[in-house]
Structure 1
Amino acid sequence: MKKTKLGEFEELVLLTVLALQSDAYGVAIKRELEERLQETLSVGSVQSALKRMEEKGFLTSEWGEAEKVRGGKRKRIYQATPYAGQVLHEMKDIRAGLWSTIVKTQNI
């Protein structure tokens, strides 16, 4: 098994990027996570996770078009890499295997 070096919060951010697809930019990612987790997150925590995952090769990003609504500012749009998909599947399999073992041995 390969060590993935993907933390819990990073995993959630990465899954959110995949869920949002072409709308995966900082504020939208933060908003979606806050809604699903039912808690307030700092912009910095999301931006730090995005930066770390880009450095690790889980994400790529590019600037979107400038928008009037945003005062001419552009959004940085994130996209998961094939490597990210591979690691997420690995994590899912690990979790499923552990849950299967727990259910069998502890009747959860």
Structure 2
Amino acid sequence: MHSTLIVARMEPGSADDVAGLFGNFDATGMPHLMGTRRRQLFSYRGLYFHLQDFDEQDGGERIERARTDPRFIGISQDLKPFIEAYDPVTWRSPADAMARRFYHWTAL
């Protein structure tokens, strides 16, 4: 399994709105198209954490292919009032907001 963690800033009090948008999005075929196995959203003191687990190592490639789908474009637009880049100066794409994993442990 492959995981990504996106870090951004979230408008205070918007967790229910963001959860609703993703609930609707995840009810479509998009998670399957992207290879998403699980999505978890977290907030902490104005920060937004979007943890996504994928079936395969090519999750990033599948997301890139899905980026032109109207549903992907739609949720990206719908999230704009609630989510903004952690560092707007350097942000060009979601890849610029992905945390880098530097340690991993799994029970045997």
More strand by percentage? 2
Mark yes or no: TM-score above 0.5. Answer: no
* Higher-Rg member (1/2): 1
TM-score normalised per structure 2: 0.30
TM-score normalised per structure 1: 0.30
